[in-house]
Structure 1
Amino acid sequence: MDVLSAAERVGFAERDRERFVGWGTGPQLPENAEELMEYCGVAEADRREMLAARPDPDRDPEWWAITSAMAGEVEQELGRPIPPTGFRGWPAVPRDTSAVGLFAGAWALLASLPRLRELHSERGVPESVTVATVAALGGVMQTHRHLFGRAGVGLMPLWSPPLRFRGTDYEIGRHAFTRTELGMGDGVSGHVLSMHIPPIGPLDAQQSEESVATAVESFRRWYPEEPIAGLVCHSWLLDPQLAEYLRPESNIIRFQSRFDLLPLLPPDDPTEGDRELMRLGLHLAVPPHPLTEEDLAAVPQDTTLRRAFVSHLRAGRHWYLRTGMLKGWS
């Protein structure tokens, strides 16, 4: 069964089905799956449920085709940085999806792990960095269970995990860094590292600075053919409106002070930043519909950030994803 037909049959919307165009087929699912899951930091309960939801080509032909196609994209892009045109993450699966569908993305990533480990070894990446990087799989499963009360990874769009398992994104200390090509309208003009802030604890300033310093030195050794022109961050954390609510000495405001902001490009969807802050900053499930007063009333008011989120939206305003260039990184 071809992947586009499979995606239509399991209920992906037309826009999401377009994401599957051009994908090949990936490596076979591993026989030592439980061992690889443990390597990726997958909790025991999630390992059991994932093993029970292993796709079968005869029983689950649609999800088998989709899983194979996702693994095929990882294989096809192995070792490549994000191009100037960007990367669109894997779409969330339909809400009524079976357990097999909820774990399809996880199986695709797990199938790609052996080749990723070979790539890291060839590039001189320490195994400690590999382990920290692929632990994103276990982390996503924990977040998925927390947000939706169901095991799996599929109800959230997956952006970082596919990049990690293809050797594009690495977790080094407090931050993750994505190898990204810089385009100036005529092909590739240089290379930057895109910084991310995984939800692994406080955004400590010293840990952040150490992470950046280690990453710059490491990528210069691992990818000498990609000289670093700068470090960039695109995040709700850089929205200067946060300074209206947070103390100047807070970790978030101190983090913002290290960047030169680029001008705001109005998003096509003005609620994009609201939804990202709710999901990534507040660690709450984002409803499939525009946020209502009822949704805002359900947000716990136990932190300054959560109180700021609600009062800001009730005032008729929006939060924004902002882009900044790190100062003095070299």
Structure 2
Amino acid sequence: MILLKDICEGIQMPEEVTAILLGLEKELDLKDLAPSVEKLYHRPLWEEGLAELRTAFGEDKNGFKMLTCMLLMGLDVYEKYKEKGMEEKVFYDTFACFSRFVKEHLASYGTYGFDREWWTTRQLSMEEFRLGELEFEVEKWNGEDVISVHIPSDAVITRENCVASYAWSKVFFKEFYPDFQYKYYICDSWLLSPSLPEILPADSKIVNFQKDFTITEWEKENPSYLEWVYKNPNLKLEELPENTSLQRNIKKYLKEGGKIGTAFGYIKADAEIK
């Protein structure tokens, strides 16, 4: 039988945080929270369930009560993976988003914390999976079934890795979600910004990643890239760090009046990605 400490170990949660979570496990009673917890397994009820849990937890320093609750839910999700015959590796790779978010909180704010509960309902609902370097979420777009592609912050998006992830996703969803007849992969990300080919070298992994997509929308003013590139969305232009070539190139581009924003694109599901 898998335990909370096993999940924490499997997703490489920092030991300091694991100790806190194991302590909170003794305080939380999921039976009392069951009606709210159950809502997190169903997309239409995510917001309602989260609101109820936030109220039930009251003061939740660094979000660790919510994190404990969600990882305890992960014990049930783990069993669902087993029942479906899904690989244990896919479970741990997928749930590693929890430890990644905790570490990203440290990088942004100087302390461990969890503030992405609005996102991780996808993993709990078994609607998003990490398959190799990329994450794939079952979703709707213009009324049609699609798979939304997400790029984890620790992903190494070489051409080889991306091709392998797309290939794996086609096999995975055909096996485990045979009734989900998706026609497109979609992506909404700063990584698809049409500005990036102007900033980055032609052989850049980011530029190669976006070449697969037909880009249809560009929100030039969307500032979300600041969090992913600079780890802090609240910094002023002159405060942006220049620790990497990407940071330096984007900062220079912004100073010259350029825009990054986010863009939306799609790939036809039957397209050959190579």
Q: Same fold (TM over 0.5)?
A: yes
2:5 aligns with one of 7, 11, 34: 34
SS in 2 for 1:217: helix
| Aligned residue in 1 for 2:158 | 204
Partner deviation per Cα, 1:244-270 (whole Å, 9 max, x = no partner): 111111111111111111133x58xx3
User: What does residue range 282-297 of structure 1 map to in structure 2 within 5 Å?
Assistant: 282=230, 284-287=231-234, 295-297=236-238
Paired AA for residue 280 in structure 1: W
SS in 2 for 1:323: strand
User: What does residue range 268-287 of structure 1 map to in structure 2 within 5 Å?
Assistant: 270=221, 272=222, 274=223, 276-282=224-230, 284-287=231-234
CA gap of 1:70–1:280, structure 2 versus 1, over 3 A, is farther
Alpha-carbon distance between aligned partners in 1 of 2:266 and 2:259, rounded to the nearest angstrom? 23
CA gap of 1:57–1:34, structure 2 versus 1, over 3 A, is closer
Query: Number of paired residues?
Result: 265
Mapped contact 2:190–2:225 kept (Cα < 8 A): yes
Mapped contact 1:169–1:176 kept (Cα < 8 A): yes
| Aligned residue in 1 for 2:16 | 45
SS in 2 for 1:228: coil
Which runs of no fewer than 5 residues in structure 1 stay unpaired? 1-30, 59-63, 185-189
Paired AA for residue 266 in structure 2: M
User: How far apart are 1:87 and its partner, in Å?
Assistant: 8.5
1:169 aligns with one of 128, 138, 156: 128
Alpha-carbon distance between aligned partners in 1 of 2:34 and 2:113, rounded to the nearest angstrom? 17
| Aligned residue in 2 for 1:151 | 112
| Aligned residue in 2 for 1:73 | 39
SS in 2 for 1:263: strand
Mapped contact 1:41–1:137 kept (Cα < 8 A): no
Alpha-carbon distance between aligned partners in 2 of 1:262 and 1:87, rounded to the nearest angstrom? 29
CA gap of 1:103–1:261, structure 2 versus 1, over 3 A, is same
CA gap of 1:138–1:263, structure 2 versus 1, over 3 A, is closer
Stretch of structure 1 that moved more, 140-149 or 204-213: 140-149
Runs of 4+ residues deviating >6 angstroms: 67-70
Alpha-carbon distance between aligned partners in 1 of 2:241 and 2:62, rounded to the nearest angstrom? 31
| Aligned residue in 2 for 1:298 | 239
Alpha-carbon distance between aligned partners in 2 of 1:202 and 1:57, rounded to the nearest angstrom? 37
Partner deviation per Cα, 1:112-136 (whole Å, 9 max, x = no partner): 1122123222332111111111111
User: How far apart are 1:216 and its partner, in Å?
Assistant: 0.8
Mapped contact 2:213–2:265 kept (Cα < 8 A): yes
Alpha-carbon distance between aligned partners in 2 of 1:215 and 1:57, rounded to the nearest angstrom? 36
Mapped contact 1:71–1:111 kept (Cα < 8 A): no
Alpha-carbon distance between aligned partners in 1 of 2:150 and 2:251, rounded to the nearest angstrom? 24
Mapped contact 2:28–2:69 kept (Cα < 8 A): no
User: How far apart are 1:99 and its partner, in Å?
Assistant: 5.6
Which runs of no fewer than 5 residues in structure 2 stay unpaired? none
Alpha-carbon distance between aligned partners in 2 of 1:54 and 1:152, rounded to the nearest angstrom? 16
Partner deviation per Cα, 1:152-191 (whole Å, 9 max, x = no partner): 203xx4444221122010000010000112343xxxxx31
User: How far apart are 1:52 and its partner, in Å?
Assistant: 4.2
Alpha-carbon distance between aligned partners in 2 of 1:231 and 1:116, rounded to the nearest angstrom? 25
Percent identity over the alignment is 21
Mapped contact 1:236–1:320 kept (Cα < 8 A): yes
TM-score (normalizing by structure 1)? 0.70
